[in-house]
Amino acid sequence: MSDFLQVLDSRTGEKYDVPVSDNFVLAADLAQIKGPVSGGKKQQKSGPENLQKLRILDVGFQHTACKQSSITLINGEEGDLRFRGHRIQDLFHKHNYQETIFLLIWGHLPTKEEAQHFSDSLAAVASPPKVVLDAVHALPHETDVYSLFLTALSAYVGADKQMITSRHKAESTYHNNMHNTDAALIRAIAYVTTATAVAYCHKYKLPIGEPKSTGTLVENYLRMIGRPDPTGSIARSIDKLWIIYADHEMSNSTAAFLHVASTLTDPLSCVIAMAAAGSGPLHVGALELCYEGLELLGTVDNVPAYLEAVKAKQFRLYGYGHRVYKAKDPRATLIEELMQEHKAAIQANPLLQIAVEIERQANTDPYFVDRNLKMNADFYGCFIYTALDIPKDIIPALLVASRCGGAMAHWREAMQSPIKIWRPIQQYKL
């Protein structure tokens, strides 16, 4: 017999064998356990209709898996991160971002021909349509970049005829239709990257540059924002950073993406949900708070007093700690490699000097060491953008763009699987 839990229900005296597979139990198996809602007294045999299924209360979904997936594996105990079985270190050192997201989406690394076709397909839809430009230009330049970014994404949904019509058809446009799914996810990835460029250019009153048909996502982003990169070093650094951020299993924003995807809507509407989730101060939005905290410190001389205030719970240290990792986040080691490449720029930037000093002191302070509080790689990597002289207010949108390939992998997986709309339950409590 397979592994199982033996459950004795003290309320009813009933015994149950609950199957266990890979240390998971099915909630449906637990629901076979029935008992009186009030508890405390055994249910009379004459009233089985009063028995109710056992339910699980898991606030914040800390102990509950909402789906099965073969895309990304995180072993937080050992500090291991793999995409489709490939170690993140190998992808970082041997491949580029577009090859990495191809792997995430289609399950294998591309051949030379597949990589070229994928790149050409992305570049073919990189130029923003007039309706997207008009929607963003209708907002004041003072509007924050993330709001401009969300506006551009919404306008893109309205500009894509298939995405519009998919919401008005009884038959799903994408579910079990890999032709439509693959074409739509390619468009969505390109749209999101271009939306970041459109938002940036409007914010800083810059003309939008023309993408090249031979350019990669990152190269065309730099070209559209008018950023010269004669040696290609900026594009290479961002490309490597995007590999690190390409997917991270079931993050809050990915869960929001898939929650919306379960309704069978278009992929870009799902991205908008993902981006909205990321805007909160407990997710990607914490990045801005992290930068603001660094600016308030002003100088590295204030770091010791600041950390003491954090330990006294007078301040929150944004950008530290991660729910998943108990060992060192493998992405942090790769980010350290990138930071070494830009060491001179980091040392010349007062803000980054403060960040590096906070990390140095926190890594040797028993308070942080004992609690395994290390700088979150999601924030640590953003210092690379600052070293490349990219304004901090566009970085949250760039994080969404870099995660979009992974999100589309999850979407494609969902479109090939039986669909059940995500509808959690609650416990009503007076």
The 10s digit of each residue's pLDDT in 352-404 is 899 889 989 998 999 988 888 877 787 788 889 999 999 999 999 999 999 99
- Gap between the Cα atoms of 349 and 347, Å rounded: 6
- Is the predicted pLDDT of residue 43 greater than 50, yes or no? no
Rounded distance, CA 85 to CA 73, Å?
8
pLDDT score for 376: 77
pLDDT tens profile 227-241: 989 899 999 999 999
Q: State residue 83's pLDDT score.
A: 98
Confidence band (pLDDT; 50, 70, 90) for 308? very high
- What pLDDT sits at residue 273? 98
Band the pLDDT of 1: cuts 50, 70, 90.
Answer: low
Report the pLDDT value the prediction gives residue 8, as an integer from 0 to 100: 93
Per-residue pLDDT averaged across 114-129, rounded? 98
Question: Is residue 117 among the annotated active site residues?
Answer: no
Higher-confidence residue: 298 or 118? 118
Per-residue pLDDT reduced to its tens digit, 88-107? 999 999 999 999 999 999 99
Task: Examine the pLDDT at 49 and tell me if it is beyond 70.
Answer: no
Under the banding of pLDDT at 50, 70 and 90, the label for residue 25 is very high
DSSP letters spanning 198-228: HHHHHHTT-PPPPPPTT--HHHHHHHHTT--
Looking at residue 183, what is its pLDDT? 98
Percent of all residues in the chain with a pLDDT value above 70, rounded to a whole number: 97
Helix, strand or coil, per DSSP, at residue 26: coil
Which domains does the chain show, CATH number per domain? 4-53 (no CATH), 81-280+392-415 (1.10.580.10), 286-387 (1.10.230.10)
Whole-Å CA distances, 354 to 81, 221, 294, 347: 29, 29, 7, 10
Give the pLDDT score at 116. 98
pTM for the model? 0.92
179 is an active site residue? no
Average pLDDT of 340-357?
Answer: 89
Q: If residue 350 lies in a helix (H) or strand (E), which one and from where to where?
A: helix 350-362
What are the backbone angles phi and psi of residue 2, rounded to the nearest 5°? Answer: -70, 170
Q: Which of 322, 365, 389, 410 is catalytic?
A: 322
Tell whether the model's pLDDT for residue 17 goes beyond 60: yes
Task: Determine the residue type at 145.
Answer: V
Residue pLDDT, tens place only, 314-334: 888 777 777 788 778 899 899
| Nearest-angstrom CA–CA distance, 92 and 78 | 19
Question: Which 3 state secondary structure label does DSSP give 30?
Answer: helix
Which stretch, 10-14, 18-22, 83-87, 298-302, has highest mean pLDDT?
83-87
Average pLDDT over residues 274-280: 93
Catalytic residue, chosen from 160, 247, 266, 378, is 378
Q: Is residue 145 over pLDDT 60?
A: yes
Give the confidence band of 424 by pLDDT, cuts at 50, 70, 90: very high
Q: Mind listing the pLDDT tens digit for each residue in 165-222? A: 998 888 999 999 999 999 999 999 999 999 999 999 999 999 999 999 999 999 999 9
Q: What percent of the chain has pLDDT over 90?
A: 70
At 301 the three-state DSSP class reads helix
pLDDT of residue 46: 44
pLDDT at 36: 86
Maximum C-alpha span of the chain: 82
Distance CA 394, CA 203 (A): 10
